[in-house]
């Protein structure tokens, strides 16, 4: 519940006082205070109002200290008018606008920030995660993440807390969705570490994307991204064995998949495809739906998946999309055809473990055991994910027998 209130509390403070960096620090302190006090004292009648009051008190203290130390006033030109929004005190029913969530997402994904900074700031300001939680999720020291967040806040300091204008809205929305997509991917398949899945990141990405979709229900890209996340996350219960070992898609027990999430995701795909031309997220979601609808691996409609990948690559010829298409080509036309597609990607993904892993699988299917074993070992050496490395080494060892 605390994380749900975080963006609205932050939005209330920034609208009233400006100073995004100090307001965000104040909200974090209010969230920590709530986490300590509410379990012992009980939930207040107006949790959001309580958080606003505590955060505003802390922000006022910080602003006074800042003014005394720096002896300068805030730039009124970069702030919304003070009478345009008034934060409700505890006890009042009126809440900050839900649009604050979207405004914060746009601000945290400002084009002046690097993707890493956008992700960190989004998780902290909009997701309500602490710096320590974000650092653990990214397997970096807390001090390193604190510096990253601090630099990001300084970079956007003084920017007005308003939604982007029509002239750059689409570009900024694309950045927001890309950040949410990256957060989800890191949660669904961790790029490094001992765990395959980071449930906190995956769930947070879905929560934030669901929020954006509620605010922008007619945006096909947003609807498609939410569908993609739900359809992909639905397979999580079957992706790992008892000891945390990776189980590939075609070997998973599909009775363990979350059918409720699949039903919602499939409905969202249908809605997304009716909201204008199909973009990258809609097409990826459609592919995920075809996988999830197959009761058995052998029932998968690979010709239709290949047709969708043809459209996807035509719209966005990214290396990973082309690698996914190579797998579909192999399923439709045989491993030799798939290997030819993978070979054509060698210069686009030099040294990437995923291209070696796909090559290894296709070589194994083609009966080239020695070459497949070598490719599996190369892929295992290239990944920083312990579960992936164990899986790939196990495949290589099996071919050695």
pLDDT tens-digit readout, 95-151:
445 567 778 888 888 888 888 888 888 888 887 777 887 887 676 788 888 888 889
Contact status, residue 208 vs residue 181, Cβ threshold 8 Å: no
Distance (Å, rounded) from C-alpha 144 to C-alpha 285?
35
Asked if residue 282 is part of any domain, the answer here is no
Q: Which residue has the higher pLDDT, 150 or 90?
A: 150
329: number of Cβ within 10 Å: 23
- pLDDT score of 13 more than 90: no
Task: Give SS3 for 246.
Answer: strand
Asked if residue 291 is part of any domain, the answer here is no
pLDDT tens-digit readout, 158-190:
888 887 777 777 778 888 898 899 889 888 887
Could you tell me the two tokens for 374? 């070598």
- pLDDT score of 14 more than 90: no
Is the C-alpha dihedral spanning 105, 111, 115, 120 positive or negative?
negative
What integer is the mean pLDDT of 191-212?
85
Q: What is the pLDDT of residue 99?
A: 62
What CATH number corresponds to the domain at position 380? 1.25.40
Query: Distance of alpha carbon 21 from its chain centroid, rounded?
Result: 23
Asked if residue 277 is part of any domain, the answer here is no
Query: Distance of alpha carbon 280 from its chain centroid, rounded?
Result: 15
Q: What is the pLDDT of residue 223?
A: 96
Helix-helix angle 353-365:335-343, to 10 degrees: 150
Sole residue written with tokens 């100090």: 22
Asked if residue 246 is part of any domain, the answer here is no
The dihedral formed by the CA atoms of 146, 147, 151 and 154, expressed in degrees to the nearest 10: 60
Q: Which residue has the higher pLDDT, 128 or 216?
A: 216
Range of the domain at 26: 1-70
Q: Which residue has the higher pLDDT, 29 or 62?
A: 29
pLDDT tens-digit readout, 350-386:
778 999 999 999 999 999 999 999 999 999 999 988 9
Domain boundary among 70, 98, 123: 70
- pLDDT score of 256 more than 80: yes
pLDDT tens-digit readout, 322-337:
999 999 999 999 999 9
- pLDDT score of 347 more than 90: no
Number of structural domains in the chain? 2
Q: Bridge partners of 192?
A: 384
Asked if residue 368 is part of any domain, the answer here is yes
Domain boundary among 50, 70, 90: 70
Contact status, residue 305 vs residue 290, Cβ threshold 8 Å: yes
Domain boundary among 30, 49, 70: 70
Asked if residue 217 is part of any domain, the answer here is no
Could you tell me the two tokens for 250? 């075609």
Asked if residue 167 is part of any domain, the answer here is no
Asked if residue 354 is part of any domain, the answer here is yes
Q: What is the pLDDT of residue 37?
A: 86
**Mean of pLDDT over the chain:** 85
DSSP string computed for 110-158: -TTS-HHHHHHHIIIIIT---HHHHHHHTTS-HHHHHHHHHHHHHHTTT
382: left (phi over 0), alpha (psi -120 to 50) or beta: alpha
Distance (Å, rounded) from C-alpha 327 to C-alpha 333?
10
Q: What is the pLDDT of residue 70?
A: 54
Q: What is the pLDDT of residue 392?
A: 96
| pLDDT tier, 81 (very low <50, low <70, confident <90, very high otherwise) | very low
- pLDDT score of 84 more than 50: no
- What's phi and psi for 23, nearest 5 deg? -65, -40
């Amino acid at each position: 519940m605390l994380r749900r209130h975080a963006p609205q509390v932050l939005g209330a403070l920034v609208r009233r006082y400006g100073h995004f960096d100090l307001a965000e620090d104040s909200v974090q302190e209010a969230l920590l205070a709530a986490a300590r006090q509410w379990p012992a004292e009980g939930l207040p009648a107006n949790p959001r109002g309580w958080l606003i009051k505590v955060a505003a008190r802390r922000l006022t203290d910080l602003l006074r200290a800042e003014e005394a130390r720096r002896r300068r006033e805030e730039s009124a030109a970069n702030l919304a008018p003070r009478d345009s929004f008034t934060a409700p005190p505890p006890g009042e029913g009126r809440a900050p606008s839900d649009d604050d969530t979207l405004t914060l997402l746009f601000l945290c994904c400002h084009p002046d920030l690097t993707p890493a900074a956008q992700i960190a700031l989004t998780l902290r300001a909009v997701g309500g995660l602490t710096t320590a939680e974000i650092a653990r999720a990214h397997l970096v020291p807390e001090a390193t993440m604190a510096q990253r967040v601090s630099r990001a806040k300084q970079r956007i300091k003084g920017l007005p807390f308003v939604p982007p204008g029509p002239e750059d809205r689409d570009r900024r929305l694309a950045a927001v969705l890309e950040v949410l997509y990256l957060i989800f991917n890191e949660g669904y398949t961790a790029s490094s570490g001992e765990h395959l899945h980071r449930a906190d990141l995956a769930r947070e990405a879905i929560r934030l994307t669901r929020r954006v979709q509620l605010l922008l229900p007619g945006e096909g890209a947003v609807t498609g991204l939410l569908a993609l996340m739900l359809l992909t996350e639905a397979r999580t219960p079957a992706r790992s064995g008892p000891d945390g070992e990776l189980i590939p898609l075609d070997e998973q027990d599909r009775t363990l998949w979350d059918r409720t999430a699949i039903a919602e995701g499939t409905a969202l795909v249908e809605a997304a495809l009716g909201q204008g031309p199909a973009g990258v997220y809609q097409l990826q979601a459609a592919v995920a739906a075809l996988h999830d609808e197959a009761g058995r691996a052998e029932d998968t409609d690979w010709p239709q998946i290949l047709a969708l990948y043809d459209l996807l690559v035509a719209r966005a010829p990214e290396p990973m999309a082309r690698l996914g298409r190579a797998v579909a080509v192999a399923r439709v036309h045989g491993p030799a055809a798939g290997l030819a597609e993978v070979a054509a990607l060698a210069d686009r993904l030099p040294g990437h473990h995923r291209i070696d892993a796909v090559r290894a699988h296709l070589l194994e299917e083609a009966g080239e055991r020695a070459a497949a074993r070598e490719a599996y070992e190369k892929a295992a050496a290239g990944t920083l994910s312990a579960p992936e490395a164990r899986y790939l080494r196990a495949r290589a060892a099996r071919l050695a027998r």
